[in-house]
Every structure is written in structure tokens, then in C-alpha cells.
Structure 1
């Protein structure tokens, strides 16, 4: 087995065509996305885009637990706390968002097999793929508010395109989505049982590609296996609780919205678990999420990613993100000491400054 964090393969297919494959290979940290991975993947995608033999790209991960549980935030913590380390963190966010945009704009089909945990940076990889597959084990989330960050990787774009205010709900609570939720919110395109994965690959490799629309070929194959998986598709809690979530998020202020969301806790177990994240969330992160999503409603993806680069670099330098990672993953005391203990204590100037481009993020 390779020691490289990414494994690249080229699978022969019909008509001397090739399906290019990427496997994230870092199961010990739930396939977390590192700067090294980003720098390996971007030039490979550029080469495959130009290679006439390559008809599609297949993106998957090693192991059954996670496709990608997010960015390598332990390394980011070091960049925030060690002298001279901030350049690494700034490069990570800048190049991560460039990779995310590259996948969105890739000129050939990208099939993402999103099995297991898909969070944060993993969603950034998955959401831009043209054919996004979820399985019975898929669990998607954007839980950044619990580590002093905010939903990024284009979340200002894709959360705003979900039905109603579900994107706001998911961004503020960090609630987990199952496969049916992912389909309902537009985060995935197909539900296929994980046991069919090797058959899906073999069928794709056996197809004739020349003179045919590659997206059509892939869609036809995936539909076959989706039909065979239909009975295993779970219920969508987000769809079931849509009206409750709409009422709870129908407020003009963040303070009122959070209060109304917390009132959902007694409705049922799923809602209780989903809004529980608000209790330990950084008030700063909640405010950043609220403002970011509202400001990006009419923005295109590139503009959103540009805004997120500024926001994320500022998060590296202001301490809240470092404190969140410390409490969750470094000291593991689960007792973050947020700069402001509650939403009503927040300083407006403090929040405003996150959205300003400073000298350290004009790169």
C-alpha cells in the first residue's frame, strides 16, 4: 500500500479510453485534507483535463469511515501557534479554495464516491463534482462553528442554494445530513449502496466512450445502480422537519434565530441532536456565519470563495479558531474559552474586522 496521501491511477476503459482515479489515502486522520494533498492533486487535474485519453475522473477515499472529515486542522493549529507558521495556514486556505473552484469548473466529468464522513474540506471536494454519489453510510456536515471557524469551501454559495433556510440551519448548527438529506438539499446526485461500488467501476470501465457524451454514459450507469439501491434509501429528517426549521429561522436577528432554534430541542431526538451544537458554538463563529450567508445570497461561486479567503485568513490571526481547535483536538478538554461568552456580548467592530482585507491576506 502506498505511503502517499493521495494515490493516482489510470484505469483502462473501452475504446482505449482512460478513467483517471484519485484515492485519498490518510485513514488514520479520517482522510483529512492537507496542503500536501492539495499540491499533489491540482497539477494532476490540470494534466488530466488536457489528456485526450481521459474521459472522466473518479474520486474516492481509503477505508470505510470517511471520505474526508475536513481540513487538516491540527496542522493549521500549529501554523497559528508556532512562530512564523502563519504562511502555511494562509497558503492552505488560498490553495484549497483554488482546488475547490478547479473541481467545479473541471471540463470533464468528476465522479465523487462520498462514502462515510464528509465534512468541511471534504464537502469542498465533493460538492463541485459533476456526479456526486452518497451511500448508506454517508454523513455530511459543516460543523465549523464549534471550532471557532465558519462554513467555508464555498458554503456561502451552496448553503444559499438549498431549499428555504435549510442552509442557514445547517451552517449555524453543524447538523449532520444523511444520504437522503444530501439528495434533498442538492449536495448529492445519486444514492447507491456501497456494496455496488466495484460493480459501478467495472461497468464504467466496460463502456465504450468514443463519440458518446461522457456525462450521459456515467448518468446511465449510475441510474442502474441507484434503481437497485432504492429500497435502502433512508428517510430525510431535513425534509420531515422542513416546516419546523423554516419557522425557527424566520427572524430578523441572529439572537432571535438561535433562541428559536434552541426551542426545537424538545420536538424529537433528531432535532435535539441537531441544535445541540449551538450550545458550545463560538458566538463569533455564529455571527460570522450569519453575516457571511446573508451577504452571499446573490454572489457567484468565485466571488464567494474570494470572500472566504479573506475571512479564513483573518480567522487564522484572531485567536478564536486556534482556541476552538485547542479545546477539541489538542488539549481535548472540550472547554473552549471564547473571546465573547455569548451573542449579546459580541462587539460589532470585532465581527466587522473579519470581513476586511488586511495586509496579511492580500496574496
Structure 2
């Protein structure tokens, strides 16, 4: 288990954290998050460490999210439930530590970056996307909700673009990630390799860190070859996703004959109605919240989802049986009432029967 995260430090003071579960697309487990949290604390106190690189092993991606199979076991026993709760607690603590970190953290969003992977990288001071980036908050596909501080950062995307990304679980390339404020720089994979080599070679003890880092970033970065589709769709997205209820969003899309609106409506109607409603409320409530308040809400919601049948059904249909045919308890938006919705935002300290 100890090899699932690799830590290294260059002579010049650049430290690296490498997620090392390439066969599982570097999905995060509690066993990975604990040492990351500990190492961040240790490196923060160590004056020899000047900056940190966050990357994923293998060719396919940075991190595809949390280890869903572990969460799926949550209803099997009290112990499994506690383990799932602990996973969320560890994950959110590490994510927040990265937001508040006093030294530069460079996140390499090369390849697949989804869910928990986005959460891990989003607080980094320098976030790099490449031509291989496939970025998403895909929780809606498994009857869950976009956690890891998503309500905070999706509200920072232009207009209602963050709402669209959360509710549709759309997968987007580099240009769109930059447009949505999910990254700061674009490099080709080749440029990224050069950049990382140069970081390892420099003696950061002798440099003015922020200036040298910006110069190196600008030297190695370029622009994506394609323009952002989200930018060109923003007018349409704002028109439909600025509503206060999911029903109104669907109605708005329904009254628009454009291909985009009709396809988006079908995307939404294929999701779990309870997840859609919870997520929209989560995003609307988060507009005036601090990062810490957003994570506190995420923890309440995550724990309540661990006792929600539709979450387990969503995971079963996508991850376990892979039939992509979820039979949700709440099949329509009407069935999941405002009372049901309010309950999700209350801290119940639920227990699971053995």
C-alpha cells in the first residue's frame, strides 16, 4: 500500500508527490490521502523545500477521483460505513490544506482529471492543463453530488458555466478548463516534461521563487490549439441554468429547439433526480460561503449520501454491474420533495445497522 503515493525531493529544493495507482487511474484511497496530508505538513515546516509538484503516474491521467468501490461497501457494515466517512474527512482536509499552502504547489492536470482529482488539484497555486486533459465533475453519473469544494470553485466559473458542468457531468478539454477557471496555464505534454525537468534541475535555494516560477511557466506554456466551446455556449448556458430549480432549468431547455438545449435536457433527465436537486441547492447556497463552509456542507451531504439508496444504485449501474441502467427510487423530480431536499442538508449523525 505504501507505494500508492511516491514522494521525492530534488537537491534544488523541489519536492514531488506522485499518485501511483496507474491501473486504477490513480484513484484516491484513504491510505493515499493520509501520507499526503502528513507530508504536506512536514514539507511546510522544512525550509529546504521551496515548491511542490503534484502529478499522476502512468500515461492516462492525473487522478480519476475517489475510490468508489470502497464507498460502495459503506452499507455492508458499521465499520465499512465509518471507513467511508473517514475517507471524506481525510480527502477534504488534504484539499483544504492545498488551498491554504504557503509554498507554491504545481498541479499537472495531464490526462484524466475527475472528481476527487479536481478537488486535489484545484487549490494548487499553479494548475497546468495539456492537450490530453479530460476534466470533469462526474458525480452526477453515479447518483452522488460534486463534492471536494466544488460548490466553491464552480461558482467561480463565468456566469452559470459551473452549474452546467456540475449538473451535466460534462467532460471538457484544456481550453474549456482554462475558461472555467479550473487551470492557469496550458502546455503540451512535451512542454510539460521539459518544464518538470527544468524545475528538477534548478537550485531554488538561490532564486526568488515566485519570479523564477512565473518566468519558467511563461517560457514553457502556450495556447490550446482549439478555442473554448464553453465560451461560445455561455450565452445559452446562462439563459437556461440561471434558474432556481431543476424543474425550471428543464422547462427552459424544453422550450429551446436548438441542438444544444435538447441534448442538454436529455443529459439532465438521465441523471438521478435527487442528485440534481441537491446539487443545484448546494451551488445556490454556496454563493456567499467561504471555502471552509463549502467543505463543511460537503461533509454533511457526503455522509447523508452514504445512507441514500439512489447513490448505491448509481454506483452499481456504472461501476459494479456497468449496465448503465439505474433504477432510482426517486424516478422523477417531483418525487424528491423540498422536504426530502432539506433533510439532506442536516447533520443527522446517521448509523448503519449491522
Q: With the length of structure 1 as denominator, give the TM-score of the two structures.
A: 0.92
The structure 1 residue matched to 2:296, chosen from 290, 306, 316, is 306
Q: Is the 8 A contact 2:301 2:345 kept in 1?
A: yes
SS of alignment partner, residue 204 of structure 2: coil
C-alpha distance 81-222 of structure 1, shift in aligned 2 (>3 A): same
Give the equivalent residue in structure 2 for 1:257: 249
C-alpha distance 272-60 of structure 1, shift in aligned 2 (>3 A): farther
Are residue 237 (structure 1) and residue 225 (structure 2) matched?
no
**Cα deviations by residue, 1:157-185 (Å, 9 ceiling, x for unpaired):** 00111111111111111112211111111
Give the equivalent residue in structure 1 for 2:121: 126
The structure 1 residue matched to 2:271, chosen from 272, 276, 281, is 281
Query: Which has the higher mean CA deviation after the structures are superposed, 333-342 or 184-193?
Result: 333-342
Match runs of 1:22-37 below 5 Å:
22-37=17-32
Give the equivalent residue in structure 1 for 2:208: 213
Give the equivalent residue in structure 1 for 2:342: 352
Q: Is the 8 A contact 2:310 2:330 kept in 1?
A: no
SS of alignment partner, residue 284 of structure 1: helix
Deviation at 1:21, TM superposition (A): 0.4
Give the equivalent residue in structure 1 for 2:11: 12
Q: Distance in 1 between the 2:254 and 2:111 partners?
A: 28
The structure 2 residue matched to 1:165, chosen from 144, 160, 166, is 160
Deviation at 1:11, TM superposition (A): 1.5
Query: Which has the higher mean CA deviation after the structures are superposed, 301-310 or 213-222?
Result: 213-222
C-alpha distance 260-220 of structure 1, shift in aligned 2 (>3 A): same
C-alpha distance 355-249 of structure 1, shift in aligned 2 (>3 A): same
SS of alignment partner, residue 287 of structure 2: coil
Give the equivalent residue in structure 2 for 1:79: 74
Q: With the length of structure 2 as denominator, give the TM-score of the two structures.
A: 0.94
Q: Distance in 2 between the 1:8 and 1:152 partners?
A: 26
Q: Is the 8 A contact 2:14 2:204 kept in 1?
A: no
Give the equivalent residue in structure 1 for 2:188: 193
**Cα deviations by residue, 1:23-71 (Å, 9 ceiling, x for unpaired):** 1111111111111110121101111111111000001111121211110
Are residue 247 (structure 1) and residue 246 (structure 2) matched?
no
Match runs of 1:48-87 below 5 Å:
48-82=43-77, 84-87=79-82
C-alpha distance 274-12 of structure 1, shift in aligned 2 (>3 A): farther
Give the equivalent residue in structure 1 for 2:315: 325
Give the equivalent residue in structure 2 for 1:146: 141
Q: Distance in 1 between the 2:206 and 2:266 partners?
A: 52
C-alpha distance 337-50 of structure 1, shift in aligned 2 (>3 A): same
SS of alignment partner, residue 84 of structure 1: helix
**Cα deviations by residue, 1:105-157 (Å, 9 ceiling, x for unpaired):** 11100001110111100000110100000000101111111211111100110
C-alpha distance 259-59 of structure 1, shift in aligned 2 (>3 A): same
Q: Is the 8 A contact 2:7 2:16 kept in 1?
A: yes
Query: Which has the higher mean CA deviation after the structures are superposed, 106-115 or 316-325?
Result: 316-325
Are residue 177 (structure 1) and residue 172 (structure 2) matched?
yes
Q: Is the 8 A contact 1:265 1:273 kept in 2?
A: no
The structure 2 residue matched to 1:155, chosen from 150, 153, 173, is 150
Q: Distance in 2 between the 1:294 and 1:41 partners?
A: 32
Give the equivalent residue in structure 2 for 1:90: 85
Q: Distance in 2 between the 1:181 and 1:90 partners?
A: 33
Q: Distance in 2 between the 1:213 and 1:263 partners?
A: 56
Q: What is the root-mean-square deviation in Å for CA atoms of aligned residues?
A: 1.9
Q: Distance in 1 between the 2:342 and 2:44 partners?
A: 40
